[in-house]
Amino acid sequence: MNIIECVDLRKEYLSGENIVNAVDGITVAFEQGEFCAITGPSGSGKSTLLHVLSSLENPTSGDVIYNGKKLSGYNDNQLSVLRRRRFGFVFQAYNLVQELTGYENIVLPVMLDKKKVDEAYINKVIDVLGIGDRLEHLPSALSGGQQQRIAIARALANKPSILFADEPTGNLDGKSGREVLSLLKYVSKEFGITLILVTHDLNVAEQAERIISIEDGKIVRDTKAGV
Amino acid sequence: MNKKKLTVNRLAMGNLKARKKQYTLMIIGIVLAMIFSSGVMFFVFSALSSFNELDKLSFGNQDAVLMNAQYYNFDRAIENDLIDDYSIAHAIGYGYNEETGEESGSLMAWYDEDAYELSYVGLREGRFPEKAGEIAFERDALVRMKLNTQIGEQITLTVKTPKSENYLSETVEKTYTLVGILHDKRSNIESEFSLNVDQFEYPAIMLSPEEKIEKGGKERLVAFIDYAGKNDFNTQWHITQAILSEMEERGLVDNEAVNGTIPPSKIIYSNAGKHFSTQSIQNTEENIRMTTILAVVLTTVLLLASCVGIVNAFNSNLQERRKQIGMLRAVGATKQQIVKVFGREAMIISLCATPLSLLISYFAVKFIIGFMGEGFVFIPEWWVLIVCGLFGIICVMAAALIPLIRASAVSPMQAIRNIDYSRKMKNKRVKSQTKFNAPNLIASRNLMFRKGRQIGVSFILVATIIISGFGFAFIENEAERMNSFYNDFDYAFESSGGTVGSNIFNCKWGVNYSDFSESVKQEILSLPYVKTVGGIKTCMANIVFDGEISDYMRLISMYYGNTYELSYERSNINTYEEYVNQLTKSKNKRYLAFSNEVFGGKDFYSSEIHSFEPSDIEEIEKYVTDGKINIDKLDSGEEIILFAPQKIGYRFEPYENGEGFSGGVIDISDGIKEDDAPYIGETAELSYKAGDVVNISVLSSDITPQEMTDDVIIPDDIKANNKQVKIGAIVSSIPQNSRWVQEMNFLTTNSGMNHFYENHPYLNMYITLKNDCTEEVDGEMTYILNQYTSGNGYRIYSKFQSNQEKRNTIIALYIIIISVVVLFFSTAASIINNSLTAQIRESKREIGTLRAVGASARELTQSYFRQLLSMFGWGCGAGFGLYTFIWILMYFAAKSTDMSFDYKYQIWQAALICIALLAVCFVNLYSKVKKQMKYSIVENIREL
């Protein structure tokens, strides 16, 4: 069953006087619980595809359909609610709120949703990510790897259906990168979450069940592991 | 390829061009800060100069005017360091209009070249006389002679020729062409120093230096003197005394030469013996000192506020500038190169902002002063503008240096990143909240980590609130004080006649004193604009007692009367009883003489009868405490109104140092006040009731005030008009009004007055107009009324002019205080806006992150608004708290020292300002957040 899909998706940018087709008519679907890596060279449009899919950016044309509903019909508030309840994001630059502690960053989506924190679940996430001793620290006191783990925990806090990760290991050293990746894989399996990950690192992409290669805004290859 | 050389100027200009919008806003901010501070300072100093200029035009630029200066040795005075400079006006005639008589005339003089400057003779219109046959008049001199000559027309005068201090016996008729009207000086000097024409002859008519004196005459010299050094009032006073002593040594002191030593700095000596007391001089010095202190404080506060404003405007894009500096350093620019680029950039900005703001200030002040009317002259004080300009440039340069110094202290990469904030955060420890409202928590953390900004905003808000609170209270107090003397008439003017010379009998009027007869009243009434003319007459009247006098009368006599001989030594009196025993031991010589020779040995009390128009008398009906006012009976002289408090007390308060006391009669009809209670020595009830009959004796003599010396006890020609009159009504008190007098007096109608003193002239006249007064009507009325008062040194009260003056003063005060408040207001608004805007710019990524994790626009706005509210909450709380505290402190300090404290607790303007400030900041904040929301989340998050 498709959790999210897009149909003839286009995203154009103005670069000086030229129009750049970052995403050029892509139609693709993702299944529930799938781990998919989107890969391609710099400027191929992989991150833009992720941003449009995850409603961080509006498409120029085409549709994103989540759970059978077109996101083009959502207003800003509805999209905010969708992001805080159904989507989780992990960025390359971690993007933690500097004024909040590790714990506060983790539970931020729950608090924005004015819900009660599921302590058992959050504790489990924290345990899995191994960040129990960093919760009282402000992000500025944490290493890159630790910040990214907090970011993953924040992305998981609301039990999302999809986890979008944009070059999650790009800012980390090899060891930390590998650890973060296996954690992402583990949590997506553990919690049954669809993981859509953008990377230009083939080693990272190879860990996925499905690899979509993009060039010049178009899908040039869509392969499943073992196929 | 562009082969133009890359210079510092090109880099700086490139920077400016690339950020045109940002820099335009910054320049506007700097211009605004400078406009307010330089504008207010320029206004204050220009207004001070304007007062100074008007003072010089009214009294001259000299320290003293010396009449009959031909007797004075100026060289010796210079040798003795008494004077620095002098200049001469040569009086070669005394001209007058035959029709208006000799008294209406003036000395006619031609001026030495430098006398124009020293006497500060100023033209209202036309020009100075240049050749023989030309003449210029002070406007008042024309009015006194009732001449309506226009410039270019001819004037024929009867001219007496001086022969030093005397005149030749023959007069000549001379015809001149009027070429100029001068600013009035003679009348100003006369009225300011209460002189009369015969005591001081200031040349109010100017002739050409080519004019020759009549044969046989000798010029009378009028010298304008500049005292040695620029000295204070006390020194000037001593120099005046030294000059007089020198003249005394030479036997000139009784000569007319001494007559008019008139230092226009308000120390006056004349034959009339009138001079300002030392106390008055000290007060004047104190006032000048206070004004200077106030100006210095105001200037400092304004400069500081504008400095904060400029630095703030410049720092609005501080972070971005740091990044720029970091990037330039990363590509190899040396510190010197960076200093050059940014210094040049700051110089270009200040060169744009400074002249623009000074130009706007100049024209704004010119416009405001022009709008404020005749009482203000626009005299630009260039040095104020120059100081403000230099200060602005220094502030801009200093503001430009701040990011440079900070960026130089860290590595280029650290400068590119916001390392300051990250460093600060690294050292912070906070406890995690398990349950929180995300917008509120982020807001409170932001406030916690940016305390410096909070303190800055609070400080400026506190200053705004305190300045606004006290400033507006001050203006309201001034406005109230000015409007508290409300008059229901349009014009009032008074004669210089009166009951001078003695307070027991009435002297002869009309010798050297003008007065207003019934015909003057009718003449004024016939003027087209005039609706009513009311007059007031005053004459001395004695109440003669049969038998013992009452305690009430004794108490009144002890204070007001001239009954007792003041033979006690004040410092030896410690108790009220001692005072009464000493004071009432013997009656004075003049009292006993009148009692024995005029009143057949009876006691008496010298009082006054004031008479008014019947309509005015009817107005006081509501204050009658006993009896009833009957106008017919007042008119017929059958009845009179007694104006006296029902109950009085003698307030006797010994000084704490045991040397004397202060004492006086107070009205205690409404009970004794708590403050007075310990000092009331004796009380007494008014013994008169309505219906009682009093013996009134009005004494008069043809003796003139000049002839009334200490040697004259009872003039030979004393006449008594004795009347028994019934007290028709008693009035205890009348709320303050300039027309009524409070004491133990009698009131009646003007017709009633004739029964006590027949055809007594009016002392004061009150005029109401048919319609509302306009500028033209006021000009005409003042001109006409001047003809009746000219020469006696009294000024005409014009409600229209008085209201205009009041309005102008209030407007000036409002302009100053509003400008100061607006300056603080704008600075506060700019600090808050800039810091929040900068924060929003810096937090672009954070906004994106929050949006990515599900925060809506409303929640983001809420978080920033919460910060804004918190900044205001602290600032306003501290401001209102401190204002209240200072106000209470001042209130109790004034109360404990018995000083008056009239400032209301005034917070509504400050509250309004804060609300407006909050609204402005909110709108700005909302628009900035909304702008960020227009970008996509990815654009928010993306790194530079």
Of B207, B228, B263, the one marking the end of a domain is B263
pLDDT tens digit string along B461-497?
888 888 888 888 888 887 777 665 556 778 887 665 5
Q: Average the pLDDT over each of A108-112, B707-711, B866-870 and give the range with the smallest value.
A: B707-711
Which among B426, B853, B943 has CB closest to A84? B853
CB contact B288 to A (< 8 Å) = no
Which among B845, B857, B938 has CB closest to A76? B857
Looking at residue B299, its pLDDT comes to 67
List, in sequence order, every residue forming a beta bridge with B273; answer none if it has no partner. none
Q: How far apart are CA B841 and CA B323, in angstroms?
A: 13
What is the full DSSP assignment across B410-421? S-HHHHHTTHHH
For B730, half-sphere exposure in the C-beta direction (CA atoms, 13 angstrom radius) is 17
379-438 in B: which are within 8 Å (CB) of A?
421-422, 425-426, 428, 430-438
- Whether residue B575 is contained in a domain is answered as yes
Given a cut of 50, whether residue B271 has pLDDT beyond it is: no
B248 is written with which tokens?
A: 């005394």
Which among B428, B437, B850 has CB closest to A138? B428
The amino acid at residue B226 is D
CA distance B27 to chain A (A): 29
Instruction: Give me the residue spans of the domains in chain A.
Output: 2-224
Answer yes or no: do B49 and B90 share one domain: no
Q: Using DSSP bridges, classify how beta strands B106-111 and B123-126 pair: parallel, antiparallel or unpaired.
A: unpaired
Query: What spatial distance separates the first Cα and last Cα of chain B, rounded to whole Å?
Result: 28
Phi-psi region of B513 (alpha: psi -120 to 50; beta: other; left: phi over 0): beta
Answer yes or no: do B502 and B481 share one domain: no
CA distance B414 to chain A (A): 14
Q: Give B-chain residues touching A109 at CB under 8 angstroms.
A: 853-854
More confident residue, A143 or B56: A143
Given a cut of 90, whether residue B692 has pLDDT beyond it is: yes
Q: Taking a C-beta distance cutoff of 8 angstroms, is the pair A161, A148 a contact? A: no
The rounded mean pLDDT for chain A is: 88
Looking at residue B253, its pLDDT comes to 44
Yes or no, beta carbons of B852 and A57 under 8 Å apart: no
- Whether residue B474 is contained in a domain is answered as yes
Nearest to A97 by CA among A142, A59, A43, A39: A142
pLDDT tens digit string along B497-555?
544 445 788 877 544 455 677 888 888 888 888 998 888 888 889 999 988 888 898 88
Supply the angle between the helices B844-852 and B908-934 in degrees, to the nearest 10: 70
The amino acid at residue B652 is F
**CB-count burial class (<10 Å; 0-12, 13-18, 19+) for A20:** middle
Q: How far apart are CA B377 and CA B403, in angstroms?
A: 45
Mean pLDDT of B746-764: 88
pLDDT tens digit string along B299-331?
677 667 767 766 766 666 666 677 777 777 766
Element (H, E) at B134: strand B134-138
- Whether residue B907 is contained in a domain is answered as yes
Answer yes or no: do B295 and B223 share one domain: no
Answer yes or no: do B515 and B651 share one domain: yes
pLDDT tens digit string along B646-674?
888 888 888 877 777 878 888 888 888 88
Looking at residue B500, its pLDDT comes to 45
Residues whose CB is less than 8 angstroms from the CB of residue B450 and which lie 6 or more positions away in sequence, other chains included: B835, B839
Of B737, B772, B807, the one marking the end of a domain is B772
- Whether residue B313 is contained in a domain is answered as yes
Is the overall model pTM greater than 0.80, yes or no?
A: no
Q: Which domain holds residue B340?
A: 1-56+288-429
Which among B433, B438, B938 has CB closest to A51? B938
- Whether residue B448 is contained in a domain is answered as yes
Alpha-carbon dihedral angle through residues B443, B445, B451, B452, given to the nearest 10 degrees: -70
Answer yes or no: do B482 and B495 share one domain: no
Looking at residue B430, its pLDDT comes to 82
Q: What fold is seen in the domain A2-224?
A: Rossmann fold (3.40.50)
Residues whose CB is less than 8 angstroms from the CB of residue B811 and which lie 6 or more positions away in sequence, other chains included: B371, B372
Given a cut of 70, whether residue B853 has pLDDT beyond it is: yes
- Whether residue B680 is contained in a domain is answered as yes
| Residue B250 pLDDT level (bands cut at 50, 70, 90) | low
Given a cut of 50, whether residue B256 has pLDDT beyond it is: no
Looking at residue A29, its pLDDT comes to 94
pLDDT tens digit string along B94-106?
999 988 888 778 8
- Whether residue B792 is contained in a domain is answered as no
Yes or no, beta carbons of B432 and A101 under 8 Å apart: yes
What is the full DSSP assignment across B706-740? GG--TT-SS-TT-EEEEEEEEEEEEE----S-TT-
CA distance B2 to chain A (A): 20
For testing contact with chain A, the best of B849, B859, B862, B934 (most A CBs within 10 A): B849
Looking at residue B314, its pLDDT comes to 65
Answer yes or no: do B211 and B300 share one domain: no
CB contact B866 to A (< 8 Å) = no
Yes or no, beta carbons of B431 and A136 under 8 Å apart: yes
Tokens 């940002």 belong to residue:
B22
- Residue of chain B whose alpha carbon sits nearest to that of A99: B445
Given a cut of 70, whether residue A50 has pLDDT beyond it is: yes
Interface of A with B (CB under 8 A): 51, 56-58, 76-77, 80-81, 83-85, 89, 91, 93, 95-104, 107-109, 111-113, 117, 135-136, 138-141, 154, 158
CA distance B425 to chain A (A): 6
More confident residue, B562 or A5: A5
Answer yes or no: do B593 and B454 share one domain: no
For testing contact with chain B, the best of A50, A138, A150, A167 (most B CBs within 10 A): A138
Given a cut of 60, whether residue B573 has pLDDT beyond it is: yes
Yes or no, beta carbons of B855 and A51 under 8 Å apart: no
Count of A-B CB contacts under 8 Å: 107
Yes or no, beta carbons of B856 and A77 under 8 Å apart: yes
Answer yes or no: do B10 and B121 share one domain: no
| Residue B58 pLDDT level (bands cut at 50, 70, 90) | confident
The phi and psi torsions of B480 (rounded to 5 degrees) equal: -65, -45
Q: How far apart are CA B478 and CA A185, in angstroms?
A: 79
- Whether residue B778 is contained in a domain is answered as no
Q: Report the complex ipTM.
A: 0.85
- Percent helix, strand, coil in chain B, to 5, is 50, 20, 30
Element (H, E) at B505: strand B505-506
Answer yes or no: do B735 and B641 share one domain: yes
What is the full DSSP assignment across B22-86? HHHHHHHHHHHHHHHHHHHHHHHHHHHHHHHHHHHHHH-SSSEEESSGGG--HHHHHHTTSEEEE
Yes or no, beta carbons of B431 and A103 under 8 Å apart: no
Yes or no, beta carbons of B432 and A56 under 8 Å apart: no
Q: In three state form, how does the secondary structure of B189-227 look?
A: HHHHCCCCHHHCCCCCEEECCCCCCCCCCECEEEEEEEE
Given a cut of 50, whether residue A226 has pLDDT beyond it is: yes
Count of structural domains, chain B: 4
- Cα B892 to its chain centre, rounded Å, is 27
CA distance B400 to chain A (A): 29
More confident residue, B180 or B77: B180
Given a cut of 70, whether residue B117 has pLDDT beyond it is: yes
Answer yes or no: do B369 and B513 share one domain: no
Q: Give A-chain residues touching B437 at CB under 8 angstroms.
A: 111
- Residue of chain A whose alpha carbon sits nearest to that of B942: A93
Answer yes or no: do B211 and B351 share one domain: no
The rounded mean pLDDT for chain B is: 78
Nearest to B313 by CA among B126, B34, B12: B34
Yes or no, beta carbons of B426 and A141 under 8 Å apart: yes
Answer yes or no: do B14 and B74 share one domain: no
Q: How far apart are CA B497 and CA B764, in angstroms?
A: 10
Q: How far apart are CA B144 and CA B106, in angstroms?
A: 10
